Structure 1
Amino acid sequence: MATVELTTGNFDEVTEQPGIVLVDFWADWCGPCKRFAPVYERSSEKHEDIVFGKIDTEAHQEVAAKFDIRSIPTIMAVRDGVIVFAQPGALPESALESLIEQVQALDMDDVRKQLAEHAEHSH
């Protein structure tokens, strides 16, 4: 499956669906983003069960602001509507594959429980 262009309009709809969604925050002027693009594209072809989204931070600054994206590229992983990973920096292919395996291996019931506990403690 090729990468999906994310926009302000479809971002929530795509990232809130069940399953795994990766998001690549990028911009046209960013050299590392351009070098990372083919790596991301290759991974998207290997993992047809995962949505590989890309969002242009220049065109959709409000989405970048909402997630406090300060440097690009930033890779974010969302599983079942929950952000489980976000880190700036282009990943080498092996690290991207490793991230995908880790996200696939997560016990989402456990993740939700931890989030709920964290929310209770932060009030």
Structure 2
Amino acid sequence: MIDKIIKYQNDSEKNFEQKKNIKTIINYIIAFILFLLSTIISAFTFPLRFIYNKTIRRNSDSKIIHLNARNIDSVLKKEKLVLIDFWAEWCGPCLMMNSTMEKFATESNGLRITKVNADLNWKLINKFKIKGLPQFILMKNGEEIKRHAGAMTIFELTKFCDESK
């Protein structure tokens, strides 16, 4: 379901950029409303999600590495190909990507999936010149090779990362 929403939003934006007619304008407006609603819901549910994540849910089986200023350099030196997902708790599209990223991490071979919480890692946000969330940076041998702003489906993530192997 989440993949379908993300695909709808991405397709609506692409179609709107290519051709402006009543249909593409309406789809773009609906996609924008979905974006706003997801962000509002994320902001208002943050306290509940925080409590749930800290007290009830222990995601120890995740293959995703959470990066910060202390561990990023060692991960980038150790791993050949790294996908960094810059996200925040209040960002609706970022939260929609959580299950997609978990699934992508279990299916990816030869690629280390990582996340950076933008609210807790301002030094990294400045270092990587992050302007919007979610933002994905693909690193090869410690060097940035490409980036993408906005949510992606599993198919789009796979295409984004496969082109660089």
TM over 0.5: yes
- Match status 1:20 vs 2:81: yes
Shift of 1:18: 4.2
Alpha-carbon distance in structure 1 between the residues aligned to 2:147 and 2:128: 9
Q: Which has the higher contact order (CA 8 A, sep 6+)?
A: 1
Aligned runs of 1:1-123 on 2, under 5 Å? 2-104=63-165
Alpha-carbon distance in structure 2 between the residues aligned to 1:15 and 1:26: 18
* Identical positions, percent: 24
Alpha-carbon distance in structure 1 between the residues aligned to 2:103 and 2:131: 26
Q: State the one-letter code of the partner of 1:77.
A: L
Instruction: Work out whether residues 79 and 112 of structure 2, in 8 Å CA contact, stay in contact via their aligned partners in 1.
Output: no
SS of alignment partner, residue 145 of structure 2: strand
Q: TM-score, normalised by structure 1?
A: 0.80
- Provide structure 2 residue ranges, at least 5 long, that are not aligned to the other structure: 1-61
Alpha-carbon distance in structure 2 between the residues aligned to 1:31 and 1:45: 23
SS of alignment partner, residue 49 of structure 1: coil
CA RMSD of aligned residues (A): 1.2
SS of alignment partner, residue 16 of structure 1: helix
SS of alignment partner, residue 70 of structure 1: coil
- Provide structure 1 residue ranges, at least 5 long, that are not aligned to the other structure: 105-123
SS of alignment partner, residue 91 of structure 1: coil
Q: Which has the higher helix share?
A: 2
Deviations 1:70-104 (A, max 9, x none): 10000000011111011211111111010121111
Q: How many pairs does the alignment contain?
A: 104
Q: Which has the higher strand share?
A: 1
Q: Which of 1 and 2 has greater Rg?
A: 2
Q: TM-score, normalised by structure 2?
A: 0.60
Deviations 1:14-47 (A, max 9, x none): 1233411000000111110000111111111011
1:115 matched to which residue of 2?
none
